[in-house]
Amino acid sequence: MTQVNNTAKYDYSGAQVLVTGGTQGIGNAIANRFSEAGANVFITGTRADTSEYENDLSAFTYLQLEVTDLDAIKQLPEKLDNRLDVLVNNAGASLPGGQSEWDHDVFEQSVNINLNSAFHISHVCYPMLKKSELQGGAAIVSIASLTSFLANDFVPGYGAAKAGLAQLMKTFAITWAKDGIRANSIAAGMTQTRMTQMVQMIPEMNEPVLERTPMSRWGQPEEIAGCAIYLASSDASFLTGQMIVVDGGFSIVG
């Protein structure tokens, strides 16, 4: 496994951050990076409490949340004490084996999880973000995918949702700029997480990934986290409505 050293230092002391799906994978790496930088970090997950997860989540405030439950989403401001500086829309899922996104209901479920939830959560969090005094302005960072612009016939719903997520951030960017809120997305490339573990274990699927990737390896969640913490920082204060691709060069190969 590639070792990632977080050499770039940021100070988020006093900032309040919400990372949806922050219990594992990319979301957990992002939550850890903000916590290490001094932020007060809230994470969401679907299980009853942190004891049901393998990871040590003691550094965060845990909120149980089904991201497709609009009534539960509307309760977020109260749970966050009506204060928020950074929102990371990370929660998402590529539906498990045995389900096909070509099925009408499964397609709709995927779009609800991966796109509609980000709209509802961002919309509910907008009044809090508008009040933020974070240097460089409040920030929304959404985790998109290479399927935002590269087609994959296995996941039509996931791909359509991730493409829509990138476009949604552009819409938030032009609409909420006047309120001091920036909105960007990260197209995460092939990253080593539990969700991609099956691909890594099957040589016929893993080898083409490595062959196409100029850096000849999978990315690490911490490498996506590094981009996320930058996008929320004052170093990126003039950067909004953009999708940053973090994929080891996978997408530039013809």
Q: What is the pLDDT of residue 94?
A: 77
- Distance from C-alpha of 10 to C-alpha of 75, rounded to nearest angstrom: 30
| Residues 171, 177, 178: CA angle, nearest 5 degrees | 130
Half-sphere exposure of residue 57: CA atoms within 13 angstroms, side-chain side:
25
| CA distances for 220 relative to 29, 148, 188, 196, angstroms | 9, 19, 10, 11
Strand order through the sheet with 86-89: 61-64, 40-45, 16-19, 86-89, 138-145, 181-188, 243-246
> What are the pLDDT digits (tens) for 160-191?
999 999 999 999 999 999 999 999 999 999 99
Q: What are the residue ranges spanned by the domains of the chain?
A: 16-249
The confidence band for 68, taking pLDDT boundaries of 50, 70 and 90, is very high
Q: Nearest-CA neighbor of 146 among 106, 210, 199, 189?
A: 189
Burial letters 79-113, b for 16+ CB under 10 A, else e = ebeeebbbbbbbbbebbeeeeebeeeeebebbbeb
Mean pLDDT of the region 104-111: 96
**Torsion angle of the four alpha carbons 206, 212, 213, 217, in this order, in degrees rounded to the nearest 10:** 30
> What are the pLDDT digits (tens) for 83-95?
999 999 999 987 7
Q: Which residues are catalytic?
A: 158
Query: pTM for the full model?
Result: 0.95
Half-sphere exposure of residue 171: CA atoms within 13 angstroms, side-chain side:
10
Mean pLDDT of the region 236-251: 98
pLDDT at 7 exceeding the cut of 80? no
Half-sphere exposure of residue 24: CA atoms within 13 angstroms, side-chain side:
15
Under a CB-based contact definition with an 8 Å cutoff, are residues 25 and 221 in contact?
yes
Burial letters 8-43, b for 16+ CB under 10 A, else e = eebebeebbbbbbbbbbbbbbbbbbbbbbbebbbbb
pLDDT at 5 exceeding the cut of 90? no
Q: Which CATH superfamily is domain 16-249 in?
A: NAD(P)-binding Rossmann-like Domain (3.40.50.720)
Mean pLDDT of the region 46-65: 97
Q: What is the pLDDT of residue 34?
A: 98
Under a CB-based contact definition with an 8 Å cutoff, are residues 187 and 244 in contact?
yes
